[in-house]
Structure 1
């Protein structure tokens, strides 16, 4: 079915999934019976030019970016009374929902982080900074994890979508100081999430925005008790200075085993004489 030809009225609403600051999200059904998450902007979004442009950008990014670890956009209309965005639906919910049931095993945590890192690298290579990397924006589909929600993404065409975006629990230090978001600030947010998944708690806590700001700017993360190579890469992702912060590529190189070397063949090369048997077989040669 060509979902892109569908309008908002073509989807049958089934239930409200959530209320956000800028949109309502419904569980809906497409004409072919497929369940989707249908995002509808609030009325105030449709009457505010800045908010309208943000929603239009989210629709455009969701429909044009394609990666196995990004939430797939199915259909949408960027502006007007019929504005909407239909996304693939995840009955299992988000990574945040999964963590409420208990911590992930280290193997599952590393698999999740590897997939999210690959999705972020894909975005960064296309000039997109997500700006809101956190467990509630990671959707679970069995053993696959998908990054979603481009509502505050920064792009080459829109380098300043918001003065400040993201959750204070996951924001990079430079963002608290008013500096622009970069791939390095996404890497820091990813590092906070990596610490949370691998250690079982967030590295920085606070009862207020002021306490969180101070923690991100000045405090070091607590001991992890992880193997040295994991401890080192997670701490480097949480470096206060973005200029020396570890990259997502460095994380993937740390957690992914190097490819196995090609098998050596014992067959002699063309033109090469086979060597005589050596070792124990020489004991049986006639003297």
Structure 2
């Protein structure tokens, strides 16, 4: 829902990322959603969540000024360049993302579009970006189908009320893609993806090893049966092979 530019803040002498919204703000409802995006993320302060510095509105256009994460690639780029990641590396990524989502949900914010393209990796950080369609958990309005079908929970595709469990399903699909090199409902056309999400469980991951219970639990189609964030964190801890607190991506993994 926007184009991102690299810019230099002359006043503070720092580089920033500026997201230009691709919709005009003439429509009141569109303007409300766009401003909600900025306000939602701006109140989040977490090392694994992109920092929003400012919001600029001018002549019906909106720009969101954000932290520029240096030396980063998206998880999607890493998968495309290097293939599936090891279960241990994915466990470390999962730990950071679960912590980030837990913080956002505690603040009443849903992401609504967790996917490999919205996860930045650096040699020492995992950063969840683009809460572009985030809304408060307390809003009692039916969800709009605004995410990415291959990473959208079944209840989201059905148009049901969006909750934190849907973010966790999307996280499960993202971790599945990191381990298997493809989404759990890979198909040549969107219609096939949507049909798969709505009608069947994903094929079990063959490479997940100790993360298999985590993936299976996050990808349960019934949100009431799905793992909670706390349960998922416990499974990640069990799957970790060491207690190292850094991600330690090799330079080759993030090479351009």
Scaled to the shorter chain, the TM-score interval is: 0.7 to 0.9
Aligned match of 2:122 in 141, 161, 164? 141
Partner residue of 2:216?
235
Greater CA drift, 157-166 or 143-152 = 157-166
Instruction: Show structure 2 runs of 5+ residues with no match.
Output: 240-256
Partner residue in 1 for 2:49: 70
Q: Which has the larger radius of gyration?
A: 1
Indicate the SS of the match to 1:179.
coil
Listed as ranges, the gaps of 5+ residues in structure 1 are 1-21, 259-287
Residues 60 and 78 in structure 1, CA contact (< 8 A), matched pair in contact too: no
Q: 1:50 to 1:34 in 2, by over 3 A?
A: same
- 1:84-163 equivalent positions in 2, closer than 5 A: 84-91=63-70, 92-102=72-82, 103-156=84-137, 158-160=139-141, 163=144
Q: CA deviation at 1:235?
A: 0.8
Cα deviations across residues 133-159 of structure 1 (Å, max 9, x unaligned)?
001111223221111112211214644
- Decide whether aligned partners of structure 1 residues 70 and 161 sit closer, same or farther in structure 2, where only a CA change above 3 A counts: farther
Contact in 1 for aligned 2:105/2:137 (Cα 8 Å): no
Q: Per the alignment, in what secondary structure is the counterpart of residue 35 of structure 1?
A: strand
Deviation digits for residues 176-224 of structure 1, max 9, x if unmatched?
2221111111111111111111233221122223211221122222232
Runs (4+) off by over 6 Å: none
Q: Kindly indicate whether residue 19 of structure 2 is the aligned counterpart of residue 39 of structure 1.
A: yes
User: Residues 121 and 127 of structure 2 are in contact (CA less than 8 Å); yes or no, is this contact kept in structure 1?
Assistant: yes
Q: Quote the residue 1:266 is aligned against.
A: none
How far does residue 79 in structure 1 lie from its aligned partner after superposition? 6.5
Scaled by the length of structure 1, what TM-score is found? 0.75
Which fold has the larger relative contact order, with Cα–Cα distance below 8 Å and residues 6 or more apart in sequence?
2
